[in-house]
Structure 1
Amino acid sequence: MAVRPRVGQGGHVTALSTTTPPRLAPLYAAGFVTAFGANGIAAAVGGEHLELGLTLAWLGLFLALYDVAELVLKPVFGALSDRIGPRPVIVGGLIVFAAASLIGVFGTGPFWLGLARLLQGAGASAFSPASSAAVARLVPAQRRGTYFGRYGSWKGLGYAGGPVIGALVVQFGSTQWLFGILVVMALVTAVAVFVAVEPIVPLPRQRATLAVMVRAATDRQFLIPVVVLAVGSAAIGALTGMLPALGTDVGIPLLVSTLAVAVLAVTSSLVQPVAGRLHDAGRLGTGVAGVAGTAAVAAAFLVVAVAPSAVAVFIAALLAGAGVATLTPVAFAHLAGTTPPDRLGRTMGSAELGRETGDAVGPLVVGGVGSAIGLPFGFAAFAVVALVGTLVASRLPSETAPQQDA
C-alpha cells in the first residue's frame, strides 16, 4: 500500500498516512464540466438562437454573461477556498451550476436563458479555481506538473467536445436536453467530490494588508506566468472564433475550419500531460516552456497571416495547441510552487482572471485589426502580441523558485 502525506495544517501536507494516491478524478471531472458547459451551451444556443427567441444582440449578451461572472467572481471564490478549504467551494459551485442549468431546462425566453447562463458562470467561478487549488494542495510538490497537465487535459477535452456533443444533443433533442445533461453532470460530480476527495484543512492565514496584496500581485513570480497563461488563453479564444471567419473569407469550407478548431483543442489535451511529466522530470524548465509555448503560438498566427489556406489553418491549430499545452501546466506548477499554501486559492483565482482577460483580448485584437485592414493582418497583429509574451516568458526562471511568504 502506498504511503502518502495527509493534507493538513502548516503546508501542503503533514503527517504520513498509509493511503492510496490522491483521488483526483472528481477534480478532473469538475474541470471537464466547466469547459463542456461553457462551450457546449454557447455553440448550441448560437446555432438555435432564433428558435429560442434571441436576437443577435441578446445572443451576444448571453455569450458574455458566463465570462463576466467569471471575471468578477473567480478571485473572490479563490480567496474563499483559502478560508474554508477547497472542497466545500467546489461542491457548492457545482450545486449552483446544476441549479442554473435547471433554470435552462424549464425557462424560456431571453431573461431566463440569460439568468441560467449568468448563474452557470457564477458556479464555475467557484469550483474552477478551487479545483486548481485542491490539485496543488493534494499532490506532491515534485509531481505538480504531471497532475496539472492531466487536469488541463480534461478541461481541454471539455472545450473540444462541448460544441460537438452539444450540437448532437440539440440535433436529436433540444437545448433543454443539453441543460438537463449539465444538471446531471454537475450533481454527479458534486457527489463524487464530496465522497472521494479528502477534506483539505484550511491553513492559518496571515492578515494581508493592501500593500502586501499589491506586492504579491505585481511580483514577477506571479505576474510573468499569468501573462504567459493569458497569451495562451488569448490564442485559443482568437483561433476558436476567427479561424472559421478566415475560412469564410478565403473560401475554406466551414466544416474544414471547424475541424481545425477541434484539432487545436485535442492537440492541447494530448500534449499537456506530456509537458507536465517532462517538467517534473527536470527536462522542461519553466522558462523554456514559457518561451517555447508562446513562440509556437506566434508561429501559428504568422503561418495563417502569411499564407491563409486549408493547410495553414491545420498547421496553425497544431502549433498553437502544442504551444498552449506546453506553457499551461508548467505555468500553473510554477504558481503553485511559489505561492504560500494558505494563499493558493487566491492565486489560482487571480491566475484564472488573467486567462479570462486573455480569452477576451485575443479575439478583440484579431477582429479589431482584421476589420480595419484585413483578417490576415489581424492574425499578424496577434503574432506580435505573442512575441511580446515570448520576451516576457524569457524572464521566467529555468527552475521553479521557492515559495515566497509575502
Structure 2
Amino acid sequence: MTELWPILILGFVAFVTSFGAHVVAVNLPVYAAQVGVGLAMIGVLIAAYYAAEVVAKPVFGAIADRRGMKQTMLAGLVLFVAASLAYLWVDPRFLILIRFIQGVGAAALSAVSLALVGAYAVQWRGRAYGIYNSIKGAGYVVSPIIGGAIIMQSDFSMIFAASAAVGILAFPLTLILPRPGIEVKSGMKDEDNEIGLSSLLGVFRQSSLWPWYVVTVVNMFFVGILFGFLPVRVYDLEYGPLMNGLILTAVSASFLLIQPLAGMLADRVNPTFTIRTGLLVAGICIILVPVASGWLLFVLAILAGIGVGTVWTNTDSLISQLAREGKLGATMGVAGTFKEIGDMLGPLLIGMVSQAFGLTTGFVTCGILGLFALGLITRRNFDTAEYNA
C-alpha cells in the first residue's frame, strides 16, 4: 500500500476529464442564451465531447502501448489545456470544435490513466480502481457547484479557464509518477508503422473480453436510467425538487463511496462474484423502482447505486487483468469506448421505450437487460487463472 500516491495522482488526472466534461455541459443553457442557439445545439455540443472520446480512446491506448504511457498522458493534458484556453480567444460559435478537441485530449487521459492503475496496483487492483473511480466521479459531483459559482461571478468563458487550471495542476503531478510495479511492454514490433492497428485488432479478437464489454455497456444503461429517469419518477410522484435532489445525492454518494470497498472485496474473493452480485442487486432494484414510493424508493435507489458502483470499478479491474502482454493501454481504451457507447445509447434506448410504452416499461426493460448480462457471465465458470492467461 506504499504505492497509493500514484493511484491518487491518476485519479486526479481522471478528475480533469470528468470535471471538464460536466462543468461545461451543465452550463450550456447559459451559453445557448448568450449565443442564441436552441436545445438541439446543446445536445450536439454535449455529444461532441463524448464522440471524440469514443473514437480516440482505443487509439490513444494503443499508441501508449508503443510510445509510452506517461508521454501519451502528458500529450493529452497539453491538448486538453490548449483547447480549454483557446476558447478564451476564439469566436464562441466555434465551441463545438473546442469541445471536440477537449474530448480528444480527455480520451488520452482517461484511457492511459485507467491502464496505468492496473500497472501500478498489481496485487490490489480492485481497491486501486475503486479509489481511482471515486476521485474521478467526484468531478461530476463538484463541477455543477463550481461552474455555477463561476457563472455567478464572471461569465461562461471562465469555465474553460477553470478547466485549464485543473489540467495545468495535473501536469507536474504526472511528471513525478514513478515507473510502474510491472514493466509495460510494447505489444508491437519496431517495424510496425501502423501505430495501434494491430494492437486494436488483437484486443477486439480476444473473446474473453466480450462478456465484460457487454456488462460494461449494460451498467452504463443503469447509470443513464438512475441519473436521467429516476428524477422523472420522482417528479411523477410530486415529491418536489428538494426530495429529487436528496434522492440523487444519495444515489451519487452510494455509487462513489462503495467503489473502494467493492474493490477491496474483489481483491479478497473472485472479482466475478462481486460483479454478478452488483448486477443482480442493481437489476432487481431498477425493476422495482417504478412501483415503489416513499422510503422504499429511497432505499432501492441507494441499493441500485451500490450495485452500479460495484460493477463499474470491478469490471475495470477485471478487464485490466485480462489484458494481454503489451496491450494494456489498447484494452483499457477499448473498454473506455464501450463505457461511452453505453453512456450515449442507454438514455436514448430507455427514453424511446418509455415514450412508447411508459416509464415503468422503460425501467423494467433496463433491469431485464442487466439480468441478461448476468446470465451471460454466469454461463461459464471464470476463474482467477484465466484472468492472467
TM-score (norm 2): 0.89
User: Which of residues 210, 231, 235 is equivalent to 1:244?
Assistant: 231
User: Which of residues 298, 306, 312 is equivalent to 2:291?
Assistant: 306
How far residue 351 of structure 1 moved from its aligned partner, in angstroms, is 0.4
Please report the RMSD computed on the Cα atoms of aligned residues, expressed in angstroms. 2.6
**Structure 1 partner of 2:210:** 223
User: Aligned pair in 2 of structure 1 residues 84, 257: CA closer, same or farther (>3 Å)?
Assistant: same
How far residue 396 of structure 1 moved from its aligned partner, in angstroms, is 6.4
1:122-155 per-residue CA deviation (whole Å, 9 max, x = no partner) reads: 111111010011111122x221111111111111
User: Which of residues 288, 291, 305 is equivalent to 2:276?
Assistant: 291
Aligned partner letter, 1:288: F
**Structure 2 partner of 1:88:** 71
How far residue 367 of structure 1 moved from its aligned partner, in angstroms, is 0.5
8 Å CA contact retained: 1:337, 1:401: no
Aligned partner letter, 2:235: T
For 1:239 and 1:363, locate their aligned partners in 2 and report how far apart those are by CA, in whole Å.
10
**Structure 2 partner of 1:143:** 124
**Structure 2 partner of 1:152:** 133
Q: How does 1:371-382 map to 2 (within 5 A)?
A: 371-382=355-366
TM-score (norm 1): 0.86
For 2:74 and 2:366, locate their aligned partners in 1 and report how far apart those are by CA, in whole Å.
38
User: Aligned pair in 2 of structure 1 residues 180, 211: CA closer, same or farther (>3 Å)?
Assistant: closer
How far residue 33 of structure 1 moved from its aligned partner, in angstroms, is 1.3
For 1:21 and 1:269, locate their aligned partners in 2 and report how far apart those are by CA, in whole Å.
18
How far residue 201 of structure 1 moved from its aligned partner, in angstroms, is 6.3
**Structure 2 partner of 1:191:** 172
**Structure 2 partner of 1:9:** none
How far residue 287 of structure 1 moved from its aligned partner, in angstroms, is 2.2
Identify the range of structure 1 (343-352 vs 320-329) with the bigger mean alpha-carbon deviation. Answer: 320-329
Identify the range of structure 1 (338-347 vs 200-209) with the bigger mean alpha-carbon deviation. Answer: 200-209
User: Which of residues 112, 118, 122 is equivalent to 2:100?
Assistant: 118
For 2:354 and 2:34, locate their aligned partners in 1 and report how far apart those are by CA, in whole Å.
31
User: Which of residues 148, 169, 172 is equivalent to 1:167?
Assistant: 148
1:282-313 per-residue CA deviation (whole Å, 9 max, x = no partner) reads: 3xx22211211111221232122223x46455
Aligned partner letter, 1:222: L
**Structure 1 stretches of 5 or more lacking a match?**
5-19
8 Å CA contact retained: 2:18, 2:136: yes
Identity of aligned residues (%): 30
How far residue 24 of structure 1 moved from its aligned partner, in angstroms, is 2.7
User: Aligned pair in 2 of structure 1 residues 210, 36: CA closer, same or farther (>3 Å)?
Assistant: closer
**Structure 2 stretches of 5 or more lacking a match?**
none
1:21-53 per-residue CA deviation (whole Å, 9 max, x = no partner) reads: 662322110111111111221111145532343
For 1:66 and 1:396, locate their aligned partners in 2 and report how far apart those are by CA, in whole Å.
37
Matched residue count: 383
For 2:8 and 2:55, locate their aligned partners in 1 and report how far apart those are by CA, in whole Å.
28
User: Aligned pair in 2 of structure 1 residues 216, 71: CA closer, same or farther (>3 Å)?
Assistant: closer
Aligned partner letter, 1:279: A
Please state whether the residue corresponding to 2:34 is helix, strand or coil: coil
**Structure 1 partner of 2:264:** 277
1:77-108 per-residue CA deviation (whole Å, 9 max, x = no partner) reads: 01011011111111111111111211333444
Please state whether the residue corresponding to 1:23 is helix, strand or coil: helix
For 2:256 and 2:98, locate their aligned partners in 1 and report how far apart those are by CA, in whole Å.
28
Identify the range of structure 1 (383-392 vs 40-49) with the bigger mean alpha-carbon deviation. Answer: 40-49
User: Aligned pair in 2 of structure 1 residues 338, 265: CA closer, same or farther (>3 Å)?
Assistant: same
1:328-353 per-residue CA deviation (whole Å, 9 max, x = no partner) reads: 22222221222123100000000011
Please state whether the residue corresponding to 2:384 is helix, strand or coil: coil
**Structure 2 partner of 1:103:** 86
8 Å CA contact retained: 2:127, 2:261: yes
8 Å CA contact retained: 1:337, 1:403: yes
1:256-289 per-residue CA deviation (whole Å, 9 max, x = no partner) reads: 324433322221211100111111123xx22211
For 1:312 and 1:48, locate their aligned partners in 2 and report how far apart those are by CA, in whole Å.
39
User: Aligned pair in 2 of structure 1 residues 116, 252: CA closer, same or farther (>3 Å)?
Assistant: farther
8 Å CA contact retained: 1:79, 1:346: yes
